[in-house]
Structure 1
């Protein structure tokens, strides 16, 4: 077992305990202290820490929180639900981890089940910091997607359930969202899957890859006559306007799969490391 060198740093009533485990200095926090540090805790404001599956011990070693859901899966987590993750270059985040679908370890960035009747007409700041319920319909937040994908290499999967209940998917073998200085531009790699490539192939509405994000109060699309986000009820990487849009409360659209007569029922966006990551050990 590695040697541990304990130390204690106290300032008035606040005490933070640190120890060195091997070459890693570890911060020891209570469950409440971890909860207070979560950047997107507004998305779970109506719950306490009891729903966070990996921070139920009396003390938490923050540096051993998993970097993403795949890291948590590799260290034995098998239950779907909310986890606190600690990506590189990012504050602590709460995300929904799907530990069952296609090998498990998927970090969910977005879900839209039409039966939940969610409003997606939000402003730029809402899309920046995230909104909704991670246990249901939600958008994790462009700033947090940027920070999450800045530190490691991911594959993204867009999952669509069509009008007949069939599950289709589109994989892009690299995925990142750039920072706010680029208006959260979308960067995608090569496509594979059975849903059809609605994001990186050029169509009548343009192309979504490399497009800036648009919201109802920030028009970054290439349509000159109107605001695609305002017209179509949700923020997205619009061009002129879309061949796919998953942020709409009335219609999920994926070209070639969803139609006006056979509307798709559910869409989600989830990511997993693409094999180029190097995760530090996690215990949670």
Structure 2
């Protein structure tokens, strides 16, 4: 066998085992969550892993972003790369949609399972960026959501970060505080629009319909990371934008990523 042929054989064998390893890690349960997987092996790489949170009766795949300080479980990614439509029905938001390695929403039932683990408190980290290359983040600790009977009510703890607490909104403007809000979609309205909501002199019956997304709306609130992704120069002054207004008021974000981090 020539040196070149030997090299090709070794390369094929290496690719085979890499593919097999990748397949195995997405088929076998690796841990409770991405933080747990990193704690077991802190040189593991980012990718898709199967997890089974404590107390959960089911396992499911997630995308883990492995950093030098721990593993982060990605629950949302919105950057326009896949053209994913976030204007979805309740069951889709409950069960998840999109591709784990790209744009996606993990699913409320899975987020709930991740935030209900015994002795593994969860923190929400939101990373975001604008079209000028700037980035910011917001963290809420502790963080969990209620069960399906509460429509997965948002329960976000203390805020820290550089992006501002958009969940809190503007204390002087009614309906901008989303803390304690239930999740709402166009076919499952829990947004407190009774009998209607008002924004910029426009009256409507559903925040999800008005803002083209499922989210923790409250008449309708300020933040909406599942909004419509728009590029410059048509990315300003849209109510339906990918929005975190305490950082970028009146401007659609280039990307948002939401992670759960456990300790």
Shorter-chain-normalised TM-score: which range? Answer: 0.7 to 0.9
The counterpart of 2:151, out of the listed 171, 183, 203, is 183
| Residues in 1 aligned to 2:114 and 2:102: alpha-carbon distance in whole angstroms | 20
| Residues in 1 aligned to 2:212 and 2:86: alpha-carbon distance in whole angstroms | 6
Match of 1:5 in 2: none
Q: How does 1:78-117 map onto structure 2 within 5 Å?
A: 78-90=44-56, 91-100=58-67, 103-117=69-83
Q: How does 1:217-232 map onto structure 2 within 5 Å?
A: 217-224=187-194, 225=196, 226-232=205-211
The counterpart of 1:73, out of the listed 20, 35, 38, is 38
Q: Do the aligned partners of residues 229 and 71 (structure 1) sit closer, same or farther apart at CA in structure 2, a change above 3 Å counting?
A: same
What residue ranges of structure 2 are gaps of 5+ in the alignment? Answer: 1-18, 197-204, 230-240
Match of 1:211 in 2: 181
The counterpart of 1:233, out of the listed 212, 221, 240, is 212
Match of 1:17 in 2: none
Q: How does 1:102-181 map onto structure 2 within 5 Å?
A: 103-151=69-117, 152-181=120-149
Contact 1:118 1:249 in 2 (8 A): no
Deviation at 1:249, TM superposition (A): 2.8
| Residues in 1 aligned to 2:166 and 2:95: alpha-carbon distance in whole angstroms | 26
Stretch of structure 1 that moved more, 246-255 or 170-179: 246-255
Contact 2:181 2:216 in 1 (8 A): yes
Q: SS of 2:25's equivalent?
A: coil
Q: SS of 1:136's equivalent?
A: coil
Q: SS of 2:210's equivalent?
A: helix
| Residues in 2 aligned to 1:95 and 1:148: alpha-carbon distance in whole angstroms | 11
Deviation at 1:259, TM superposition (A): 3.8
Deviation at 1:223, TM superposition (A): 2.3
| Residues in 2 aligned to 1:88 and 1:216: alpha-carbon distance in whole angstroms | 32
| Residues in 2 aligned to 1:124 and 1:50: alpha-carbon distance in whole angstroms | 35
TM-score (norm 2): 0.77
- When the two chains are superposed, the root-mean-square deviation of aligned CA atoms in Å is 2.1
Q: Do the aligned partners of residues 116 and 231 (structure 1) sit closer, same or farther apart at CA in structure 2, a change above 3 Å counting?
A: same
Deviation at 1:120, TM superposition (A): 0.7
What residue ranges of structure 1 are gaps of 5+ in the alignment? Answer: 1-47, 276-284
| Residues in 1 aligned to 2:168 and 2:144: alpha-carbon distance in whole angstroms | 14
Q: SS of 2:246's equivalent?
A: coil
Q: SS of 2:115's equivalent?
A: helix
| Residues in 1 aligned to 2:145 and 2:23: alpha-carbon distance in whole angstroms | 26
| Residues in 1 aligned to 2:94 and 2:214: alpha-carbon distance in whole angstroms | 10
Deviation at 1:146, TM superposition (A): 0.8
| Residues in 2 aligned to 1:153 and 1:213: alpha-carbon distance in whole angstroms | 21
Could you list the per-position Cα deviations for residues 166-200 of structure 1 after superposition, in whole angstroms to 9, with x for gaps in the alignment? 12100011110110011110101000000001113
Q: SS of 1:254's equivalent?
A: coil
| Residues in 2 aligned to 1:199 and 1:248: alpha-carbon distance in whole angstroms | 15
Contact 1:188 1:200 in 2 (8 A): no
Could you list the per-position Cα deviations for residues 51-87 of structure 1 after superposition, in whole angstroms to 9, with x for gaps in the alignment? 546257xxx5x5xx31110111122243111001111
Stretch of structure 1 that moved more, 130-139 or 158-167: 158-167
TM-score (norm 1): 0.72
